[in-house]
Structure 1
């Protein structure tokens, strides 16, 4: 007798924000791949303009977006102290109750928390509805990175109850491995729209015209340090520094500060604030050197994977996820974290040496482990299906 065909997994993916961020773009890419599941996305209901969020128009029409519960401010906007923690606790409880009431959640086989903030109320909603849940670890779970209250909640409430854990890097996993009870754990890089180029076709020997970073405008992403290092390394050349990205999570003032600093350093005419781009491959293709310069350890650094996949000479900070992918002098250059002079030295070296750029470009395209979105989707599905006991 032929067994009946299995039904696709019913999965609700929860995110605490619809602002443009790495986690949100990763979820859009994940759900844009055909997969053996029936997904829905749950978001807060209190966005200022739901039709203008990053998910509007980004997801396939077949993926419903369901809004419920209160909004969640960025960490820097939420305040500190007992009062702020109490307000956060109230929002989390309200979010978990609102999520648990959704018909899609009650009908789901499994819930997936796409962000750390969402993980807390997803865990509570899963407890209410008796649903298994998967946690996507996209942050380094530590007080320095996400705050002491969030770290405590992750370690005591969320991680011990998770039926599956996906970490975007070994660095991320190492911060939570002692808190897990499940064996359904895997390191899977976030989908980043990778389309690896032919390494042998790369030619990076020409003069460097455009040095750039692809990242939202945010102090911790390191735009100011890169700007100052660029002015130090290339004070009077023809090189242009390009920032692709828009301010998010309340950092409009920082964007204005960067323009002021460029003027003070005398390089304003050689700094291009290109704004948000929806065509990341074309933006990277137009750069001669690509940089990641975050001011704290990056859990993964999707931009680094995109740089490498495009065969670009790449400079990264020497900590966190990026150094799992970049080996100094082989497929990129690594500078001392948060050290402007070290970054400036790396820029001087890579700008001056065409043979080095050629080696780095070809070896970047050969970096092992660079996955397409379809390959990432298959691996994520395996973890989610295991959590749902399929």
Structure 2
């Protein structure tokens, strides 16, 4: 990099395969709202349903371009081979469209915000000879992202990456054998954290609101929590609140959950609150917070938000959340996918005020809960070092 180029803001193009309201998308929005010495741009597929969290949140603050085919997480009809061929064509079209953009050709570094985007960002990087960074937000295994995506990441993307950001040690370990770069960092995603003072916590009694903050999606565990709640709290008193709306084609699952609440006899104590822009206020309204995903979470942004808010927290004992929560110290850890174990943890907290107070204090005192600005500074460092490779 020349001296003139080194003195100018780093030109970074961020690419995402979606503009819907997902964890990766909100993380990128928060990142771009921090103050870093870069000149950023965002590239997304076309929006056809009117949902664009980036334009809604960033306005004209960051240039946003929509190019290439639209990528969706919904299942396509036909055989696996046909679906794989369709995906391959979309990825190639996205990579070529990306490479044609002036912003990409002029960029110092490209950053892929999601796994699918990483594949066509790698292609665009090869076409334009631009270094790229991959943000690992998934566990790179066939069970988590599918066999085709895993092979593409391992064989084509990861060996060519100039830099890698993993959101947890768990996600990093699934990609480390395939990396050639030495620019590798574990950095939690920007999660809008505003850690509370442990000394200022007020833990209400009795418990009236137990909740989960996550998009409505089968793998996020809403059904598991609903069944555990019905077991742990069969009588009137506490209510269960689901913050988050259905994304990526899971509207039917929301209807299924409502029907299940009726069949379990708790419909009058279950609230589907929908998407909330003010996550802090949503979490503040809860007395107990839960993370109960059905497969390992690479990070679990909601867990960081629960801890920063000083909430008695229950998490599944695998993946990223288990790196942040120590059972009995700053939360409770239950056996993954075990509704009875989750019900037992809920019951323990509902019945024990002293335990809730102790865990709330421990949650607020959790080390390494970073502000978005601090996370942004670390991500900028990775982008800067990767641009120099």
How big is the shift at 1:3? 9.1
- Which residue of structure 2 lines up, in the alignment, with residue 81 of structure 1? 80
Match of 2:147 in 1: 148
Partner Cα distance (1:78, 1:40) in 2:
34
Does the C-alpha gap of structure 1 residues 8 and 78 become closer, same or farther in structure 2, counting only changes over 3 Å? farther
> Hey, what's the Cα distance between the residues in 2 that align with 1:320 and 1:59?
31
Residue 371 of structure 1: SS of its match in structure 2?
coil
**Equivalent residue for 1:363?**
362
Write the deviation string for residues 351-379 of structure 1: whole angstroms up to 9, x where unpaired: 00000000000010000010000000000
Contact 2:29 2:58 in 1 (8 A): yes
Residue in structure 2 matched with residue 303 of structure 1 by the alignment: 302
**Greater alpha carbon shift after TM alignment, 258-267 vs 57-66:** 57-66
Contiguous gaps of at least 5 residues in structure 2? none
Alignment partner of 1:118 is 2:91: no
State how 1:226-305 maps to structure 2 within 5 Å: 226-305=225-304
Q: What's the offset of the Cα at 1:56?
A: 2.0
Q: Aligned pair in 2 of structure 1 residues 80, 159: CA closer, same or farther (>3 Å)?
A: farther
Question: Aligned-pair distance for 1:237?
Answer: 3.0
2-side partners of 1:77 and 1:236: how far apart? 43
Determine the C-alpha separation between the residues in 1 that align with 2:112 and 2:234: 45
2:355 alignment partner, SS class:
helix
Given that 1:77 and 1:250 are in contact with CA atoms closer than 8 Å, whether structure 2 keeps it comes out as no
Q: 1:80 to 1:149 in 2, by over 3 A?
A: farther
Cα RMSD between the aligned structures?
Answer: 1.4
CA distance in 1, matches of 2:208, 2:296: 28
After TM superposition, give the deviation of residue 78 of structure 1 in Å.
Answer: 7.0
For residue 130 of structure 2, give the secondary structure of its aligned residue in structure 1.
coil
Residue 123 of structure 1 and its aligned partner are, at CA, apart by 0.1
Verify the 8 A CA contact 1:13 1:114 in the aligned structure 2.
Answer: yes
Shift in Å at residue 73 of structure 1? 1.5
TM-score, normalised to structure 1, is: 0.97
CA drift at 1:76 = 3.8
Q: How does 1:35-184 map to 2 (within 5 A)?
A: 35-45=36-46, 47-50=47-50, 52-74=51-73, 76-77=75-76, 81-184=80-183
Distance 1:382 1:75 in 2: 35
| Inter-CA distance 75–4: structure 2 relative to 1 (3 Å threshold) | closer
Counterpart CA distance in 1 for 2:77 and 2:169 is 29
1:246-293 per-residue CA deviation (whole Å, 9 max, x = no partner) reads 000000000000000000000000001000000000000010000000
Provide the residue aligned with 2:8 in structure 1: 7
Distance 1:237 1:290 in 2: 19
Match of 2:346 in 1: 347
Tell me if structure 2 keeps the 8 A contact 1:32–1:60: no
What is the deviation of 1:148? 0.2
Deviation at 1:118, TM superposition (A): 0.1
- Structure 1 distance, partners of 2:204, 2:162, is 49
Report SS of the residue matched to 2:12.
Answer: strand
Deviation at 1:308, TM superposition (A): 0.1
Residue 200 of structure 1: how far off its partner (Å): 1.1
Following TM superposition, the consecutive aligned residue runs of length 4 or more in structure 1 with deviations greater than 6 angstroms are 2-5
- Given that residues 241 and 273 in structure 2 are in contact (C-alpha distance below 8 angstroms), is that contact kept between their aligned partners in structure 1? yes
Question: 1:31, 1:60 within 8 Å by CA — same for their partners in 2?
Answer: no
Distance 2:5 2:236 in 1: 68
Q: Is 1:224 aligned to 2:195, yes or no? A: no
Deviation at 1:203, TM superposition (A): 2.4
Query: 2: distance between equivalents of 1:4 and 1:385?
Result: 12
TM-score by length of 2: 0.97
In the alignment, the residues of structure 2 paired with residue 72 and residue 39 of structure 1 have an alpha-carbon distance, to the nearest angstrom, of 22
Q: Give the whole-Å Cα distance in 1 for the aligned partners of 2:299 and 2:182.
A: 22
**TM-superposed deviation, 1:206:** 1.7
Deviation at 1:201, TM superposition (A): 1.2
Secondary structure at the aligned position of 2:148 is classed as: helix
Cα offset for 1:241?
Answer: 0.2
- Runs of 5+ consecutive residues of structure 1 not aligned to the other structure: none
**TM-fit CA distance, 1:57:** 2.0
Q: Post-superposition shift, 1:60?
A: 5.0
Match of 2:27 in 1: 26
Following superposition, the deviation at residue 49 of structure 1 comes to 3.6
